[in-house]
Structure 1
Amino acid sequence: MKIAFLGAGALGCAIGSALTEGGHETWLVDRSAAHVEAMSRHGLQVNDERGTRQVKVRATMNPAEVGPVDLVIVLVKSFHTDQAMRGALALVGPETVVLSLQNGLGHEDVLSEIVGRERVLAGKTYVGGVLRGPGHIQAGVTGKLTIIGELDGRITGRAQEIADAFNAAGLTTTVSDNILGTMWDKLLINVATGAITGITQLTYGQLYDEPVLKATSLAAVEEAMAAARAAGITLSITNAEDAWNMAAEGLPPAFKTSMLQSLEKSSITEIDFINGAVVRWGERLNVPTPVNSTLVACIKGIERAMTDRQKQGAAA
């Protein structure tokens, strides 16, 4: 297959390098000039359980250089989805499928408005990665599940073809007839800890040692579960405490959520596609979401203060 990753951060590079080594024409499209130049000149340095190696990848900042592909895998930050896809329409040909593997909920709607809902697949992946520097990642692929599916729940040949390509490249992948339920399940886990740690700046060890914060987490998850039920979504997580426990599974006390990491790097968070998605669905279906609304407001306030400091620093 000819595959393009829209967004070649740690996760895009981890999956993209595996597919490259699996024999697919894989392109890593990213807006970081330093990252793209390093990959183009030296290849992508991958550190994983197999050791360290250089993978000769195709990298570019210009989607037009790639041309139409069979599959676009979207892994940009949530708030860049619309702009990134509109700027990468050169990747889309008559038979192109667009697959979002992003965290949160709502990307499939954004992408559908741009390329048409009939092209869009959704998925969740538990593949891990850390960007160590331009052209250098730490990857965790082995045994990490990826789940993809059609938005209407059909099991199609195109979804199976993608799963087959992933599996052949060592990326454990299944096709789901309930991908929206899978996405909501993952959302519940993100709702359980992300915003709370972003606001409090606590690691997992600290978070899980505070009963009052656990109570807030459970209340936020219960709101999300109520919104999902009202939307007719079939969840595999049926107890808020399960989402709380699953969020910390296999992670060390020093672990920091991606939301906290974003704020520590003075970056905007993906709150609109996590707790914000719960709020939007609640408004649509008349399900009260006061806890999630409060968490969103607090993160937005932190982002505003951060942005103002950056502006003051630039003006000084």
Structure 2
Amino acid sequence: MRIAVYGAGGMAGSMGARLWQAGHDLAIIARGEHLKAIQQGGLRIEFREGGGFTATPRVATDDPSKVGLVDLVILGVKAWQVPEAARALLPMVGPETRVMTIQNGVEAPYQVAEVVPAERVITGAMIGGGEVVRPGCIRARNLHIPDPNLPESPLGQIAPERAGRTDSVARVQDALQDAGWRIVLPEDIRVALWNKFAPYAAFAGVAAVCRAPNGVLRQVQESRALMRRAAEEIVAVAHAQGIAVGKESLELLELVVNTWALTFINSAARDFLAGRPSEVVDFSGSVLRLGRAAGVPTPVNEFIYAALLPQELKALGQIAWPE
């Protein structure tokens, strides 16, 4: 396949590099020092277990019009950047192109479907990405080494609902499995998105508020309880929309807290703590909007949103702090 990665962060960048390693044509749309490093020396993947490889894309650019038409666009930007990015990627989209969203929220595929026909939007609740450790380099798991603590990654499309293994989904599934991912096709991809969103957003929000990594949150029971309450509120919002999220989302939260590295902070919280624009407030704001629309109270997520909003507005340059 001809694949374009739009936003080569930890997840999308590692997906593109691994798909390149599996034999697919790769183009990367990035910016800044990360782009310069990729243009000069390729995209390096360093495995946490040791070793790695360097992907050399056909083109690395900040201009989607220089890529040409592709079979698959992997949209790797942050959740709050999706509407703008969906319009910007159109020069790469032909009649057979599929656009894959991998954001940790639940609104991205529908935002893309406002620009691209909904039946051509694929979404994945991907597990097993990585983090950009320096320009042009991502540190990630070696997915070819079995890890019983790493869940499968659900994949599907939003239109028609419960589409199952369509030709489009099957092609992407096969490619990702060749690249090392364990892919599952759920009956309803919306359930999978919310199952991931609930623990991810709850962890990110509480980690950002507490300014603490996983090892600290694991020990401080009050913070851990706050995280679970935030996740339970998100599950309640999903239920109010008729999305049958089960206990899996809360079990995933416990799995992350109990088994992942003591130093782990997910990317949304990490961006926030570094003073960069992040997805944390977007996550909590999404829960508030959807909760209000469904008549579901979300006091913990409302607290997280209110507590983090000033710092997020500062990072976005929308508010000035007095000297």
Q: TM-score, normalised by structure 1?
A: 0.90
- Following superposition of structure 1 onto structure 2, how do residues 11-30 of structure 1 map, counting pairs within 5 Å? 11-30=11-30
CA distance, structure 1, for counterparts of residue 270 and residue 249 of structure 2: 28
In structure 1, what is the equivalent of residue 41 of structure 2?
A: 42
Counterpart in 1 of 2:68?
67
Residues 1:208 and 1:250: Cα distance change in structure 2 (over 3 Å): closer
Mean Cα deviation higher: 157-166 or 126-135? 126-135
Matches for 1:265-284 after TM superposition, within 5 Å: 265-284=274-293
Provide the identity percentage.
29
Q: Whole-Å Cα distance in 1 between the matches of residues 318 and 241 of structure 2?
A: 40
Is 1:181 matched up with 2:220?
Answer: no
Within 1, Cα distance between the matches of 2:43 and 2:156? Answer: 29
CA distance in 1, matches of 2:128, 2:320: 36
Q: Residue 188 of structure 1 contacts residue 243 of structure 1 at CA under 8 Å; is this kept in 2?
A: no
* Deviation for aligned residue 1:141: 4.2
Q: 2:56 maps to which residue?
A: 56
Shift of 1:275: 2.4
Per the TM alignment, residue 71 of structure 1 is displaced from its structure 2 partner at its CA by 0.9
- Hey, what's the Cα distance between the residues in 1 that align with 2:9 and 2:265? 18
Long gaps (5+) in structure 2: none
CA distance in 1, matches of 2:35, 2:314: 32
Comparing 302-311 with 184-193, greater Cα deviation is found at 302-311
Q: Find out whether 1:149 has 2:159 as its counterpart.
A: no
Query: 1:135-179: CA deviations, max 9, x gaps?
Result: 222222414543210211112111011101111233332322221
AA of the residue aligned to 1:136: C
Q: Does 1:105 align with 2:106?
A: yes
User: Distance in 2 between the 1:249 and 1:70 partners?
Assistant: 39
Partner SS, residue 259 of structure 2: coil
Question: Residue 190 in 1 paired to residue 189 in 2?
Answer: no
Q: 2:61 & 2:314 partners in 1: Cα distance?
A: 34
Q: Does 1:166 align with 2:176?
A: yes
Taking structure 1 as reference, are residues 311 and 292 closer, same or farther at Cα in structure 2, changes over 3 Å only?
closer
Partner of 1:297: 306
AA aligned opposite 2:115: I
Q: 1:226 is matched with which residue? A: 236
Q: Which runs of 5+ in 1 are unaligned?
A: none
CA separation in 1, counterparts of 2:26 and 2:245? Answer: 34
SS in 1 for 2:277: coil
Residue 295 of structure 2 corresponds to residue 286 of structure 1: yes
Query: Do the aligned partners of residues 307 and 120 (structure 1) sit closer, same or farther apart at CA in structure 2, a change above 3 Å counting?
Result: closer
Q: How many residues align?
A: 312
Q: Is residue 8–residue 28 contact of structure 2 (8 Å, CA) maintained in 1? A: yes
The two structures have a TM-score, normalised by structure 2, of 0.88
SS at match of 2:219: coil
Within-5 A mapping of 1:90-101: 90-101=91-102
Deviation by residue 1:247-288 (Cα, 9 ceiling, x = unmatched): 314312222232331122211221354222222221121111
What is the CA–CA distance in structure 2 between the aligned matches of 1:205 and 1:112, rounded to whole Å? 39
* CA 1:306–1:35: 2 relative to 1, 3 Å: closer
